[in-house]
Structure 1
Amino acid sequence: MKIAVLSFAHVHATRYIQLLRDRSDVELITTDPDAPPGDPTRGKALADELGVTYRAGYEEAFAERPRAVIVTSENTRHRQLVEQGAAAGAHVLCEKPIATTEDDARAMINACEQAGVSLMTAYPVRFHPAFAALRRTLAEGWLGSLLSVHGVNNSSAPGLDRPWFADPALAGGGAVIDHTVHIADLLDVLLDGEQPTQVYAVANTLLAQGGADEPKVESAGLLTLTYARGLVATIDCSWSHPSTHPTWGGLTLTCVGDRALAEFDAFPPLLDGYDTTQATSRWEHGTIDLDAAMLDSFLAAARTGQRAHPDGETGLRTLRTVLAAYESLRTGQPVATAA
């Protein structure tokens, strides 16, 4: 099956390429025409380093009629590439957030529906077996009635390696749009799509990178989501890890019920110690490859023509939480959302 990776802008693009390159059932082509000239982390330079087929532009990639495409461009460029993919009859996996505006997200969903192709949003954490166990625990009543959920998705600032993450014209915002959506997706799964009735957000730029003349985006944020059932959820979506931290970041979820409490950690350490040669702590992953699990699901949907999950509607629901958070930041007040 022929797969095209469109753009290397997102930090996850390299990992997707590596996983697809090593599969015997995939013919991989790549393109990154928007790469800054001379950037060794983008464009043909990266493709050559990874040993994958490269095409000069999107039109050349689409001319090869891929069965599916993966969109890993800057956030505000998602719509154009998704619509092009749909028009070419390709199933689409779009990096999160699905878009930066509701109009763009809806247009992408409509384009894929009209073309009869799947639109999947890249939320790999929901494929974690421990999260599946958490969902079963809740569904089987072991936690009782869910009272509160506290989600944390922190990392170092992605703008250190990819400056566009700190450019609101390309990213749509900062830490709030970057990290809210993963937790919002897990809440979406646990609550069967139920949406918050109110969102309140606070944020600051204290950890922002760059000079005084560069655009500032929020680097630390905290959201409070209120649901009709009385449930309260919080999302810490900060870029609060230093660049020297031994891991890129982490994601945890604490669910408090009236009968029990459950804690989910997406990236638990397998080995924790100290490396004398590097004079740093040593940390090794002890989890499954979530990106690989997500790609398996996407490729299976592309082969069979079944609807991929999490779909575009999921991406839109999680985006609405983000947009409400930005409205709250603008007004300083809680923002009512659709029940």
Structure 2
Amino acid sequence: MQRRCPIVHAHLRRCLSRLLIAASTLQLTSALQAQTQDHIRVAIVGLVHGHVQGFLRSLPSHNNVELVGIAEPDAALRQKYAAQTKLPESIFFASETEMLAKTHPQAILVYSSIADHRKAIEQAVPQHIAVMVEKPLATTVEDAEAIAKLSKQYNVPVLTNYETTWYASNTAAYQMLGEGKIGDLRKLVIHDGHRGPKEIGVGPEFLGWLTDPKQNGAGALFDFGCYGADLATWFLHGEAPVSVTAITLQIKPDIYPKVDDDATILLKYPHAQAIIQGSWNWPFDRKDMEVYGAKGYVDTVKADKLRVRLPGETDERVEIATPLTAPQDNSLDYLTAVLAHKIDPRGDLTALDTNVTVVRILAAARESARTGRTVTLAH
């Protein structure tokens, strides 16, 4: 018995060594997987949307995001951005098809016209490539529903990016309502817009499609009405309105002869209403909102301030909203978290279900403005 102990001990040492190696390998694999989850390869589709400039400016601050390709059919536009950004010409492609085949991104960021969103998504999603488009999701309900069907078929996320999603003031107002501090929701009044795209100096490639009713869906009605439709749908937890009534104006037909430049949309819900005011005629840039409850109210002021009056208070007061933290404070960290399955976007401001409802609202508003009649939505 004593003579066999060294053999048994040696065997135990070998087994222990193998277990330690296996554990180390598993730990290394887990670490690499976590690193892969926190690092994403993205590509850009289209350079005609001016918001792409904001993405390119923010990219250096996101070490977890690698830009692997840019697809844009306009050669002059490709050259312009290559010169401005100093990015290697090797990452620029004339077509999305070629770019996806050569770069294999995990997600595409779409900066095309709104009408071209569906085409870009139809190429990416069957290859299991996630998508984030700039607002709104689509110009027609048909396109929005086709995109949703494709996303469900391949189980690939399609997100819609709004600047106001990352406003701490909007999240704070939403939380105050949810906590019952102002009582049940009664009314939303949402203002978005600026002096007009030409007046603020957007590039010609942006202005060209933004003022085209087919490529943009409408004028200010879609360009800025979508923010309010998105926020209203979020505040109402995905509920579609009972009816939509809209009025549009052409205050500056000499500048915008094909589309509206001012829009007001009224959304009727069973126990609340939302008034959405999107315009290219505001004297100043604005993205703010008034949230009225049965017992109090909270107004958002830009990205981080609130005006609040709660039950029992005689005057309103100004508060600074608690800053948002990653991944809820910016689109790239949010997209990364969704791809890593750390966030389920359903019901969020970016979510596909939310934004199909947004397109239904905008399409109904366009029809209401055209006919002068209230449009009832099917439920």
Structure 1 residue 22 displacement after superposition = 4.1
Q: Which residue of 2 aligns with 1:226?
A: 268
- Within the alignment, does 1:257 sit opposite 2:299 as a pair? no
Structure 1 residue 236 displacement after superposition = 0.7
Q: Which residue of 1 aligns with 2:281?
A: 240
**Pick aligned residue for 2:171 from 124, 127, 132:** 132
- Within the alignment, does 1:184 sit opposite 2:229 as a pair? yes
SS class of match (2:295) = coil
Contact 1:7 1:30 in 2 (8 A): no
**Pick aligned residue for 2:259 from 206, 214, 217:** 217
Contact 1:32 1:44 in 2 (8 A): no
**Pick aligned residue for 2:241 from 196, 219, 229:** 196
Distance in 2 between residues matched to 1:305 and 1:170, nearest whole Å:
34
Q: TM-score, normalised by structure 1?
A: 0.84
Distance in 2 between residues matched to 1:117 and 1:232, nearest whole Å:
33
Structure 1 residue 67 displacement after superposition = 0.7
Contact 1:3 1:67 in 2 (8 A): yes
Q: Which residue of 1 aligns with 2:15?
A: none
User: Per the alignment, do residues 24 and 145 of structure 1 end up closer, same or farther by CA in structure 2, a change over 3 Å counting?
Assistant: closer
Mapping of residues 1-339 of structure 1, within 5 Å: 1-35=40-74, 38=76, 42-52=77-87, 53-63=91-101, 64-159=103-198, 161=202, 162=206, 163-208=208-253, 210=255, 215-229=257-271, 231-241=272-282, 249-267=285-303, 293-304=330-341, 307-308=344-345, 309=348, 310-339=350-379
Q: TM-score, normalised by structure 2?
A: 0.75
Structure 1 residue 59 displacement after superposition = 1.9
2:222 is matched by which residue type in structure 1?
I
Structure that is richer in helix per residue:
2
Structure 1 residue 21 displacement after superposition = 4.4
Q: Which residue of 1 aligns with 2:4?
A: none
User: Per the alignment, do residues 59 and 305 of structure 1 end up closer, same or farther by CA in structure 2, a change over 3 Å counting?
Assistant: farther
Contact 1:121 1:314 in 2 (8 A): no
User: Per the alignment, do residues 44 and 303 of structure 1 end up closer, same or farther by CA in structure 2, a change over 3 Å counting?
Assistant: farther
Structure 1 residue 173 displacement after superposition = 0.9
Distance in 1 between residues matched to 2:217 and 2:133, nearest whole Å:
16
Distance in 1 between residues matched to 2:82 and 2:233, nearest whole Å:
36
1:184 is matched by which residue type in structure 2?
A
Structure 1, unpaired ranges of 5+: 270-286
User: Per the alignment, do residues 305 and 263 of structure 1 end up closer, same or farther by CA in structure 2, a change over 3 Å counting?
Assistant: closer
Distance in 2 between residues matched to 1:47 and 1:293, nearest whole Å:
25
1:105-131 per-position Cα deviation (integer Å, ceiling 9, x unaligned): 111112122222111111241332222
Contact 1:167 1:215 in 2 (8 A): no
Structure 1 residue 306 displacement after superposition = 5.4
Distance in 2 between residues matched to 1:138 and 1:305, nearest whole Å:
26
Contact 2:164 2:303 in 1 (8 A): no
What is the alpha-carbon root mean square deviation over aligned residues? 2.4
Structure 1 residue 143 displacement after superposition = 0.9
Range with bigger deviation, 307-316 or 59-68:
307-316
Contact 1:196 1:338 in 2 (8 A): no
Distance in 2 between residues matched to 1:311 and 1:44, nearest whole Å:
34
Paired residues in the alignment total: 309
1:73-99 per-position Cα deviation (integer Å, ceiling 9, x unaligned): 001100000111102221110111111
1:336 is matched by which residue type in structure 2?
T
User: Per the alignment, do residues 30 and 239 of structure 1 end up closer, same or farther by CA in structure 2, a change over 3 Å counting?
Assistant: farther
1:185-240 per-position Cα deviation (integer Å, ceiling 9, x unaligned): 11112111122111111111112454xxx8510001111111112x1211110111
Distance in 2 between residues matched to 1:324 and 1:317, nearest whole Å:
11
Distance in 1 between residues matched to 2:93 and 2:213, nearest whole Å:
28
1:186 is matched by which residue type in structure 2?
L
Contact 1:225 1:234 in 2 (8 A): yes
User: Per the alignment, do residues 142 and 268 of structure 1 end up closer, same or farther by CA in structure 2, a change over 3 Å counting?
Assistant: closer
Contact 2:170 2:303 in 1 (8 A): no
Structure 1 residue 147 displacement after superposition = 1.8
Structure 1 residue 152 displacement after superposition = 0.3
Structure 1 residue 34 displacement after superposition = 3.5
Distance in 2 between residues matched to 1:20 and 1:209, nearest whole Å:
38
